Structure 1
Amino acid sequence: MAPSVVTQEQPSVPAGDLFRYESSSHCKSVSVPASAATPNTNLKARAMIGQALNTQVSNIDLDECDPGDEDSFFVADLGEVHRAFNLWMQHLPQVQPFYAVKCNTDRKVISLLASLGCNFDCASKAEIDIVLSLGISADRIVYANPCKTNSFIRNARTNGVQLTTVDNSQELYKLAQYHPGCGILLRLATDDELAQCRLSTKFGCSVATATHELMPLAKELGLSVKGVAFHVGSGATDLTSIFKAIRDARQVFDHGLSHFGFDMSVLDIGGGFQQDSFIEASAMVRRSLDQWFPQDFAEQHDVKFIAEPGRFMVSNAFTLAAHVIARRDCDELPMLYINDGVYGNLNCILFDHQHPEASVLTHLGEFVYDQRSTSSRKDFSIWGPTCDGLDCVSSRAGLGHDVAVGDWLYFSNLGAYTSAATTSFNGFKSVANVIYVNSESD
């Protein structure tokens, strides 16, 4: 069966607002109609991805193709994005997801998420422009960057973006001058020491700074503090950091309500969620909200809960295929050179602490995707195409074939913080083509 390649126009985007989902169950996991990732679903997804990879590679004649025809490429399964969104709504229906656009700026992904009801976390003018260009209304965007360029603030005001994050007094002065009507979320620092990617070293203020410096100044400037934001870092292993951050947020809420009369009605719990730990993390979120933002308090102050998942929605949806352009046999490990690397779509190795696992896609013209080789394991080091010695994809990779020049490798689960951060260093193409399939289609 041929893969269901998505070629239709962008899906229509329903009109909406900043807070799209409200659940009658305050903080409990509820059942929602969702297509779970059953074994049959996974088999269908792998089959569709494999067929798309095979079709693309089979159409490339390495002896006759034009320069660049054999470049690396992605296969994206939009069905995986759909299932990730459903999983979120199953376990955190009371928390409105705002997809972190910086994670992956693919327009079909953004359009799909918008059609499902997701809103968007944007950190720059360019990200805001992408979302708006797809017909998504500005009231579904939070400008979640605590330190913004003046012209970007003016652009947000012009385009109707009405919510942003702040962690310092200078930002309040800028908002007072350039976007005084914008709602403000005070960004708190968190205990993210055990997170894979820490953020509080760069952003976030203390509870004391929020309550005794920023709130009085905002009141003096006539600005509207709407609530609190935080981020416990990507890949957080200490889930108590979520509990502590929500506890701190309640303290700031109480101060804003009692001392300044602010309309404290938004709690942004940030991102960093991963599918392999989501059940435990979502349970901690529900427990923490139950304790610090119980239903009577949330209803009294009309508190809305939002989050900024990025990798959670897309990490498993993209598979990268790369061509083996050279091999060098050495005394220790044979070295494979592929046409993508840490300056391209595998930059996650440097920037996101990822360790992509290589598998063999084709060997000597035979398509071996998702197959277990009967031959013994062969170890290689894998290198990118640039002339920089830093461009190492893997110092040791065990592959099931004695890979040769002309073979193809593939890397699964490369949807997060990959294509969004590529460079054109050494003149190599920075943006890979994407082939779309949808394992949720009939």
Structure 2
Amino acid sequence: MTLPSTVSALYPQHVVELQRRTALALERGGFDHLVVPSGTLHYHVFDDRDYPYAVNPQFKAWLPLTKAPGSWLVVTPGQKPKLIFLQPFDYWHVVPSAPSGYWVEHFDIVVIRRPEEALQHLPANVARCAILGEPQSTLDQYVPNNPVAVVNYLEYHRAYKTPYEIAMMREATRRGVRAHRAAERAFRAGASEFGIHLVYCQAAGQDLAELPYNNIIALNEHSAVLHYTERDVVPPRQVRSFLIDAGASHHGYACDITRTYALDAGQEFQAMIDAVDAAQLRMCDQVRAGVDYKQIHVDAHLALAGILWNFGVIKVSPETALATGVSSAFFPHGIGHGIGLQVHEVAGFAASDEGGTIAKPDGHPYLRLTRELEPGMVVTIEPGIYFIDMLLDEVKKNGHGDSINWARVDAFKPFGGIRIEDDVVCTEAAPLNLTREGFAEVA
């Protein structure tokens, strides 16, 4: 089945589900209408340059419009959702095309030419509206109030992706995989970090403003900087390794993929990459209904510490490395996060749709998701091993320097680090690995 027919078949039920959630959220908050501005352009202070436009996630959850600033969505339970679509008279910029496609029949659409024209189409009683957006989206008396009860409910349930949303993420993954393959070829051909970045954007068909996050393109030691985004324009004299953490978008949905490679001179480092890759696949298989995501994180520490022990980097058991914090020096971030409309999906710590927080495990401050997994959730699984001086120095200061074989650290440090990341769907049965599925298609 082709993508358009698949999407057109899945989209109606997606809208029905969002209407159901919205009705319950409004009831929780005591409102009659959900009003969602798409967002506006923001400008630099003391300048006439605008920041890249980013659509309101609460807006793009409903419809695949990511470049329609100044538009509004109105959802009233029992009525057809209304789209107030700004199509301005403008010869300085490209004007958004008139709404078309599989989704338009599910909305009452009003086209306006000036932003203030939206006022006559918004609900008359603003006090009965839950308005979700940024302060910059204020229009006359329609000021975003972001009521906590409504936001908590909608964001908590956004973790459960509809089949339509999974289809969107699968398409984002296909685009990302294609770009990852192009980036690997550029690396092996000797390109610089900046050159690889340009190749990636070209293959993805998206520039930096369209990608879901800033590409991490790191050669050699730069791979030890977790969010490295500097991109040298000249390749190093000796290229040893390459870490790429880069995604793509499709109609507002994100993919998040990381791979690590070594050249022939780093055969032992490649063996470590392969070991992390194998362990990562086992972690992906843990993405099952009823599993505590925190446990996957803790298990990842034990698995990665086992790899470090096998390669002679640490001299203590995985359990001891975890208990003493030694494993955190090599794996300092969380095992992953939710993903969907945002690359770091919201409500990762929510105890329920009424609020509350599920705490992170002690000693693991950077984990981004603490909920129990349920069918429909999509998460990343991204274990890593890095050789970071400041963290290794902390191990010495804390009195655990004898746990590490420093000669082995010195041998691996020029390669920076390793990270492997896939996007995985929790189902009623075995998990669905969107990333591996995407790579298998191009293989």
Q: TM-score range by the shorter chain?
A: under 0.3
Q: TM-score, normalised by structure 1?
A: 0.27
Q: TM-score, normalised by structure 2?
A: 0.27
**Which one has a larger percent strand, Structure 1 or Structure 2?**
1
